Every structure is written in C-alpha cells, then in structure tokens.
Structure 1
Amino acid sequence: MNIQPINIIHALVIWQSLLFAIILFTPKYNRKRENKFLALLLLTLGIHFSYNILLTNQIFLNILPQYSCSYGFLYGPFLFLYIKFHFRKDLNFKPEYFLHFLPFTVIVLFTALGFRVCHSSMFLVLPLVILVYCLLGFTEIIHYKKVISQVSSNINHSETKWVKTILLLQIVILILNFLHLQLNKIIVFDKEFTLEPLVQLGILVLVNIMIYQGLKNPQFFQKISETDLVNAEIKQSKEKTNKLNLGELNSLAIELEKYMSQYKPYLNSELNLDALAKALEVHPKTLSQTINQILGNNFSEYINSYRIEEAKLLLQNIRDNQITIMEIMYQVGFNSRSVFNNAFKNKTGVTPSQYKEKKQFI
C-alpha cells in the first residue's frame, strides 16, 4: 500500500471520527438526542475518509468511485438535525425528516442498479446542498435566540456561538474545496501550493470541535420547548390589540410591577415566563404580550433590568468591601459572569467592577 502524506490526515480523521461516534452512541451520551445525529455525522466522515484512503491507493477502483458523491448528501442533513435537536427540548423525530435523506437513498439505489449517478456535475451541486443546510442551521440559531429571549430570564449565548463556529468553518471548507477543484494549485510569493491539505486540515479541526462539544455538557444551557414557541408568538403590532384587551394588558402591567417590587421573583435564577405567569395566575402568552407591548421589553430584558438595579444597590454598599462581584451576581439571580457583565454594561455603560470602584470614591 502506498501511504501518501495526505493519508496521515485521513487516518487521523478516520480514527477520531469512528472512535467518538462509538462513544456518542454509548448510554452516557446518547441520552442527549442530538448526539445521535452527531455520532452519525462522525460515522459518515470516518467511512468517507476510509474511502479516500482506499481510492488513493487504487483499491476497489471498479466499485468505490461509483458511490463517491453519496456521502456528501448525508453531511448537511445530519448537521442540520443535530443543530435543530440541540436547541429544542421536546422535539421528536418526525417521518418527514426522512425526506432529508432521500437524495442519498436515490443515489445509492440507482448506483446499485447500474446507473452512473456520481459524475462531475453532481460534485458542483453537492456544495450548494451543504451550503443550504448551513443556512438552515443559521435560521435555527436566529429562531432560538428570538424565542429564548421571550421566555427565559438567564440566557447564555455561548452555545449559539460555537454552533455558528462550526457552520462558518463548514462554509470555509466548502469554499476551499471548490477552489481546489477549480484551481488545484495556487501561487503565493512565487511558490505553488495545493489547497487539498488545507481542506483536509479544516475537516480535521471541524471534527475536533464537534467531538469536544458533543462530549461537553453545558451547565446553564436552556433549550426551548413547544410551549415556549407558543408563548413567544406575540402580535406584531399594537393596532391589532382591541381597546378592551389593551386595558387588560395595562392592568396586568401595573399588577406585574407591584408583584416584582414586593416579592422580587427575579432573584431566582431559574425564573422563566411560565413560572411568573403561574404566580400571577395569567396565561404565559398574555404576560408576554404585556411585557412586550406595554412595558416595551422582551422577557429577558425586563427581568434583568430588575436584577441590575438590585446589583447596583449591593455594589454601592461600601460598608462591606468583602463582598465580591461573583457573590452579588448570584444574589441578584444571574448564574453566568459573561451574561451579568454584558447585561450590566448595556444598562449602565460600565462593567460591575467599574461601577463598584466608581461608587466607592463618591
């Protein structure tokens, strides 16, 4: 067997993909439903790169090239479904999701029947298909961020950032691969470079990011449920709210403000729209309408405004210099330092530490 330098990268991808695909299928990790799609994605990568090594060494040339494009039609669906299930709490696999795998099934079936499906034009279509699934992944992120701000008071966007990272990296790999197929070599400072190693290294980096995130269990990551989706469906304009309903919302807004001042439910870091609505004995959608239309905030902004005011009072307490900002953060209902800092700076223009230092010299 002729082992080429590029095969080293292939071997690393195969080893890591297959090993961690098996790990993600174990009971400890497959309880997270999205990990099953990640495991299938890694398994596909491992099989695909095994094909690359065999092809490089001219093994099974009478069979393998006929199926060369089929693997690519699995990457997009598995990545998209992983992202979709990652952000949804009670989502079940629906029969229509099988349609995502129809192109792969058709290619394998027709190839097995002797038809030549994988040809040059198919390799031009494939990047576009994967790109579409990447864009669908971005729509899931946007939708999640829109809904979670309406139903949760403690939002940590670190989960959306890393998902954006793997989607952007996937797009970069697509671009590099397209340039590789078109140009093969580029000239930089009078030296020729092939783009294939960059493509393969990019895939290796992508695999490692997915493995790390698949094994990591975020402590404060909150998914959205079907109930959250319903609660986040707020009317688009005030004109659609009749006078009687508007009066009811104004009354609820007054009741809500009194309840927040008297009982301080915002000090509970687990406070969400459902819990607050239950305490006020109103429907969550009605409460969400009140906060959005009457008070002019989404749920997260509204709750955090009270937490910031509470934090400001504690930070002004110069008699107790032993109290730390982390202690204040937890006392007022935040459970993430980055979320606390961002919310505090957006409200006051300075960080909590800057605010405390400023007040100590007044």
Structure 2
Amino acid sequence: MDKINLLVTITVITMFISLFLALFLTTVKTAHKVSNRLFAFFLVLTAIDISINLGDVFEIPLNTRIFISSFVFLQLPTFYLYVLSVCYSDFKLKPKYLIHSIPFFVVNLVFVPRFYAVNLASKISFLEKSTSMPEIQFNHILVHIQIVLYLIAAFMLLRKAKKIYLENYAGASVESLHWLFQFTLALSIFYFIALIKNIFKFTDYRNISEWVKMGLFLFELVIIFWYLYKALNNPGLFRSIDSKLKLVEYIISEEKNDSLAENEKAYNEDILKLQQYMIEEKPFLNPSLTIQDIAAAIQIPVRDLSLLINHKLDQHFYDFVNSHRIENAKAILKDVTKSKVTVLEILYEVGFNSKSSFNTAFKKHTGITPTGYRKSL
C-alpha cells in the first residue's frame, strides 16, 4: 500500500508540474511561440502517459488505459520537432510532419481485433496474459526502436546545427545548443533506464520494475524542474539559425578544384580586406554578429566569405570573431589605466554576452583565465 501511495503521489506531482509548465509555455509572451508550444505539447503527452498510474485510484476504462499508453509513441517525435524548431529560425509546422504520428496509429490499429473490439471478459483475459501477447511484445519492440532512432536523429541534428552555427555566427546560441544537447542526453538516460525497467517487467522480478518506475518519475521531475529553471533564468537563450545555410564541407564539394585555384588570388585580397575591416571597424563588438553582417559590410558574397574564414583561414567564424574579441580584451587587461575595470565589464565591452563563454574563449586562446592573465602582467 505504501508503494502504491508513493507512486500515486509522485505521479500527481509530476503531472501537476508538467501541466503547469505547459500552461506557462503556451501563455508567456515570446518570439519562440512554435518551440514553446511543441515543448508544451511534449509535457502534456508526458502528463497523459503517466496518468495511467492513477488507474488504481480512479476508475479508468480498459480501452482508455491502452489508448493512453500509446501516447508514448508521440512523445519523442514531438521532442524531435521541438529540437528542430529551436535549431532553425525558419522552422514551421507543416502537414508532412504528420508522418511522425504513424507509429501511434499503427499501434492502436494492432489492438483493435483482440482488445478494443472485444468484450470486457476478453479484455481482462488479454491483460492477464499481457507478457505473452504478440500485440504487447510488438508495442514494446516498436517503442524501443523509435526511442533509439529519434534520439540518434536529435543528436545528429544538434551536431549539424552546432557546426553551422560555429561557421556563421558569433553570439550566444552555441550555449543554447550545448544546453539542449545536455537536455537530450538527460532524456536518453531516462529512456535507457525505462528500457531496463521494461526488461524486468517481462521477468520474474516485476517488483524491481515498479521501484525503478518510481525512480524514473523522480528523475523526470528533476528534468522538468531543470528545464523550468533554465527557461526562467535565460529567456533569451534560444536564438535559432537559418536552415538554408550550408556547411562549408558541402560548399567545397560543390566547387570544382580548378575554380578554387583560380580564386586563390581573389581570396588573398579578400583576406587583407577582411583583416583591415576587423581592425578598423571592430564589428566583433556586436555580440550578435553574423557572417552575413560582415559580408554585407565588405561586399563579399556570404558563400565566399564562409569559404575564406572556415576553409582558407581554417577557423570557425565563431572562433575567428572571438580571437579578435580576446585580443581586444587582452589590450584592456594590460592597460594600467583600466586596472579597476572588472572582468565582467570587459567581457561586455569586447562583445561577449556571458561570463562562461568569455572565460572559455579566453582560456582557449591564451591558456589561462582572464583573472589569471591580469595577475601575470
């Protein structure tokens, strides 16, 4: 009884927090409405999925229980679309994305002949032999295949988005991609533990499965609170990239070798033009600087400028801009007349917008922290 009460308590708390955060995400004023609504839908699906654990407290029809359990097939597709919407600024929900709901409908169709369409006695008999029923086994196999595929797809998407960002932007979005990677990793751990739970469910140790389930709900609470904390403390964290941008490796593969050779002289001239612009105009002081901004200023096509920096100079645009910011910061740190200027003031002055990104970039380029650099002078 204590275990049941604990499970019900955790379920109710998790559902309440999930639905509360979903309400917050759908009502808060933000430029990221699609992303917020997708994550809100993910949270609602989560709340619906775990509500099945209240079946011992409230009378839930058997058909409804099975139908609710199938909502798990919509969770990761929704999360994947959420990641897609966060990564790309021009993301829009389109009818083609309905293809992600196919497993949900397939699973429910599988249950029609021997569960949904039969009488109550047959349903009870079906559930009593659930571990040996082909429909249940098919359900579990399909959901685990889906979990693996969608998590891999999410990680690949984040990896590509990060590479595109580093080649074209120099703002704070890379931090949001890092955090989103961590969040996806946390979900991966959650689903891995769920897999272990399901393995025990089909063995003689079903009691272990129930205890693991409670641990999962607690872990789920932690993940949700973590997301809420991050969203509230960093409202401008998610700034997406343009999905039309191509990776430099793709641009190179599209170019012919002879055309690259012919452009060698032009590239050298453009390098001088770029370096002169960076020194004289200091565009890196803009924390939201993009490769498009510089391309427009020095009148070089974005495609050529991307090849110039990311391929010819062998630097990501992100690192290229940060190297200029760090050199500017070093000059300020060396200036004895500015010895009372704090590191926090300096990082904002040179174009960074967070202490963590400044410290990381400074240490990457100098080997020590800004404070350590100032003390070593």
TM-score, length basis structure 2: 0.84
Does structure 2 conserve the Cα–Cα contact (< 8 Å) formed by 1:9 and 1:201? yes
Residue in 2 aligned with 1:21? 22
2:312 to 290, 294, 300: 294
Residue in 2 aligned with 1:128? 145
Change beyond 3 A, Cα 1:270–1:194: closer
- Could you tell me how far 1:344 is from its partner in structure 2? 1.1
Residue in 1 aligned with 2:124? none
1:308 to 326, 340, 349: 326
Residue in 2 aligned with 1:104? 104
Gaps of 5+ in 1: none
- Could you tell me how far 1:111 is from its partner in structure 2? 4.1
Map 1:204-353; keep pairs closer than 5 Å: 204-215=221-232, 217-219=234-236, 221-229=238-246, 233-235=250-252, 239=257, 241-353=259-371
Deviations along 1:164-219, whole A, 9 cap, x unmatched?
A: 233222222222222223335999xxx99932221222222233334444555533
Gaps of 5+ in 2: 117-133
Deviations along 1:227-253, whole A, 9 cap, x unmatched?
A: 444788531599464322222212111
Distance in 1 (CA, whole Å) between partners of 2:68 and 2:282 is 61
Residue in 2 aligned with 1:71? 71
Residue in 1 aligned with 2:47? 46
Residue 152, structure 1, aligned to residue 169, structure 2: yes
Deviations along 1:124-174, whole A, 9 cap, x unmatched?
A: 321221222111111121111101111112345432233223322222222
Look up the equivalent residue of 1:106 and give its one-letter code.
Answer: V
Look up the equivalent residue of 2:84 and give its one-letter code.
Answer: K
Change beyond 3 A, Cα 1:211–1:259: closer
Identity across matched positions, percent: 27
Does structure 2 conserve the Cα–Cα contact (< 8 Å) formed by 1:29 and 1:215? no
Equivalenced residue count is 355
Aligned CA RMSD, in angstroms, stands at 3.0
Does structure 2 conserve the Cα–Cα contact (< 8 Å) formed by 1:84 and 1:140? yes
Residue in 2 aligned with 1:143? 160
Residue in 2 aligned with 1:95? 95
Look up the equivalent residue of 2:307 and give its one-letter code.
Answer: Q
Change beyond 3 A, Cα 1:331–1:30: closer
Map 1:155-170; keep pairs closer than 5 Å: 155-170=172-187
TM-score, length basis structure 1: 0.87
1:177 to 172, 180, 194: 194
- Could you tell me how far 1:37 is from its partner in structure 2? 1.0
Look up the equivalent residue of 1:313 and give its one-letter code.
Answer: A
Distance in 2 (CA, whole Å) between partners of 1:155 and 1:31 is 16
Change beyond 3 A, Cα 1:255–1:11: same
More helix by share: 2
Residue in 2 aligned with 1:199? 216
Single out whichever of 168-177 and 72-81 deviates more from structure 2: 168-177
Does structure 2 conserve the Cα–Cα contact (< 8 Å) formed by 1:89 and 1:223? yes
Single out whichever of 59-68 and 264-273 deviates more from structure 2: 59-68
Residue in 1 aligned with 2:126? none
Residue in 2 aligned with 1:37? 38
Distance in 2 (CA, whole Å) between partners of 1:327 and 1:128 is 50
